[in-house]
Amino acid sequence: MTLSIPPAIGEPHRLLFAIPKKGRLYEKTMELLAGADIQFRRSNRLDICSATNHPITLVFLPASDIPSFVAKGDVDLGITGHDVILEAGMTDLVDEVLQLGFGKCALQVQVPEASGIKTVDQLAGKRVVTSFEVVAAKYFDELDAKLGFVGDNKTKIQYIGGSVEAACALGLADGIVDLVESGETMRAAGLHAIDTVLNTEAVLIKSAKPKHEHLKPIIDLVTRRIAGVIASKKYVLCEYNIPRAALSNATAITPGRRAPTISPLEDPEWVAVSSMVERKRVAGVMDQLVDIGAEDVLVVSLDNCRV
């Protein structure tokens, strides 16, 4: 297969879109781009490629670097984690345009189960290892100040880039601050969480100060498409027939994102209702509708939408 030659970075008429090059966000981001019909061909040897159907250049970067490139460089859009933005200190320089619904996890304070430490107050003043040095330092600085710990009594924060969960077992730390998704790694290392510093997920970001006004139409297009893909995964279309007398109760159950669509039927005593319902709630919603007299209740999955 012949690969197109990627355009030069910074080509003025093309949107620069930073994508995580690996890790927990990569695969879901690829699915998101496919759903938004952003087509591209990427060589294994290159971390830059051009979309074949839009004036977009995709740049594959470590997720931890993306906030800085969007905030201070020429990159127009990026996908990264909310936690990474905080760690990079870029919250005032980027706008979180959309929460993407994947990559959800918690940044938690963890200690060995056998340590006897049950609260963060007990951990304060001891050794803490993390790869989120900035966020952890802010958290423990506030805790130390509350407890009156100063000077040598303050919590000691040490950065390591990986294998954070092994730090306690190997004698480097009394506790750690690390991301927890399923908790399996934490439990396997003999750790348990005693507090949550923050909850995080993948987000679509852009610079808080627009850099390329002429690219605003394509930025808006990509944002709308991604929002549509997210909504299609979150919602289903619920359609049913209901007696007019029960319509107010029915619309309370299925209010839709803004409002349900109500259509008359040949029988003047009945109406048809169509409404978007959260996928996770749909079974319970169907039961409630049947209980108030709804018939022909149908649920339709969405491949894509615009919201």
How high is the pLDDT of residue 24?
Answer: 83
How high is the pLDDT of residue 211?
Answer: 87
**pLDDT class of 1 with cuts at 50, 70, 90:** very low
| Residues pairing with 105 in the sheet | 200
**pLDDT class of 6 with cuts at 50, 70, 90:** very low
Does domain 235-301 fall under CATH 3.40.50.10680? My reply is no
Half-sphere exposure of 129 (CA within 13 A, CB side): 17
Could you read off the pLDDT of 34-61 as tens digits, one per residue?
999 999 988 877 899 999 999 999 999 9
Assess contact for 179 and 130: CB atoms under 8 A. Answer: no
Same fold, 15-103+202-211 and 235-301: no
What kind of fold does domain 105-200 have according to CATH?
Answer: D-Maltodextrin-Binding Protein; domain 2 (3.40.190)
Give CA–CA dist 180/196, Å, rounded. Answer: 10
Could you read off the pLDDT of 267-293 as tens digits, one per residue?
999 999 999 999 999 999 999 999 999
How high is the pLDDT of residue 7?
Answer: 47
The full set of domain ranges for the chain reads 15-103+202-211, 105-200, 235-301
User: In the predicted model, is pLDDT for residue 142 greater than 90?
Assistant: yes
What number of H helices and E strands is found in the chain? 9, 15
CATH class of the 15-103+202-211 domain in this structure = alpha beta
